[in-house]
């Protein structure tokens, strides 16, 4: 990790290709988590985070980074006002978070290179899809506070994505950020994704059988 797998079939709704074909070759994938001290970010953390003993699940946003064969790096993210956007150069992300006095964490995925280009092209094809919208955030709040205790599920929104959902969909099934509670991609939030990511890293470090990609029985 830089800077400091429960399973049900996933309904990966097809997103039509809207972006230009990729111009480079991707060789590695990273995930980033971030937090900026704004009211909505604090609310996301309050609802979904601070469940780990060290309170490291303190994120309000996440996105995906690709390292390219030519040495460059670029990132993609889903934003409330802009939808799923990219590519942008990685230094721009660092500067953006720094200028807002925020926090940034980048994690390696160890996804094999033979799968990276496929994910890269899919990511580019998803650019232009709608991103956050008010009801999805409200649904996520209700799910975390009440819905998951009464069996209520977040409605599927194939034409809309949020930051954590789009990352989870892109890297599945190579890495599965769902957990025992959040069994649908729509339910993954930045902090549940962070907690699951740490579990995957921990299980791989100690070579615990069946958890290499985040699932005891990936399908």
How far is C-alpha 6 from the chain's CA centre?
18
pLDDT at 102: 98
Q: What residue ranges do the domains of the chain occupy? A: 26-203
The reported pTM is 0.82
For the ranges 62-76, 110-124, 150-164, 190-204, which has the lowest average pLDDT? 150-164
In this prediction, residue 6 has a pLDDT band, given cuts at 50, 70 and 90, of very low
Mean pLDDT within 139-156? 79
Q: 179 vs 8, 28, 32, 142, CA distance in Å? A: 11, 24, 19, 18
Q: What is the mean pLDDT of residues 100-126?
A: 97
Give the pLDDT mean for 84-92: 96
What is the pLDDT at residue 19?
Answer: 45
Q: What is the second-level CATH architecture of the domain 26-203?
A: Alpha-Beta Complex (3.90)
What is the mean pLDDT of the segment spanning 57-77? 97
- CB half-sphere exposure, 121, CA atoms < 13 A: 7
Range from 62-71, 125-134, 141-150, 154-163 carrying the lowest mean pLDDT: 125-134
Average pLDDT value for residue range 93-101 = 97
What totals of helices (H) and strands (E) does the chain contain, helices first? 7, 5
């Amino acid at each position: 990790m830089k800077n400091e797998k429960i399973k049900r079939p996933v309904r990966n709704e097809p997103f039509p290709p809207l972006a230009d074909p990729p111009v480079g070759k991707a060789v590695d994938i990273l995930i980033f988590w971030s937090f900026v001290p704004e009211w909505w970010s604090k609310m996301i953390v309050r609802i979904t985070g601070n469940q780990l003993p060290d309170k490291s699940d303190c994120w309000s946003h996440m996105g995906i980074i690709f390292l390219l064969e030519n040495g460059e790096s670029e990132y993609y993210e889903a934003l409330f006002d802009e939808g799923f956007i990219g590519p942008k150069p990685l230094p721009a992300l660092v500067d953006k978070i720094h200028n807002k006095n925020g926090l940034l964490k980048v994690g390696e995925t160890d996804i094999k290179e033979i799968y990276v280009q496929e994910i890269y092209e899919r990511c580019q094809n998803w650019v232009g899809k709608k991103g956050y919208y008010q009801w999805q955030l409200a649904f996520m709040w209700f799910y975390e506070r009440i819905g998951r205790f009464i069996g209520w599920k977040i409605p599927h929104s194939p034409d809309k994505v949020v930051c954590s959902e789009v990352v989870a969909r892109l890297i599945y099934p190579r890495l599965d950020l769902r957990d025992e509670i959040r069994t649908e991609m729509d339910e993954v939030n930045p902090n549940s994704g962070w907690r699951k990511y740490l579990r995957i890293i921990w299980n791989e470090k100690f070579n615990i059988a069946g958890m290499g990609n985040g699932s005891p029985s990936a399908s």
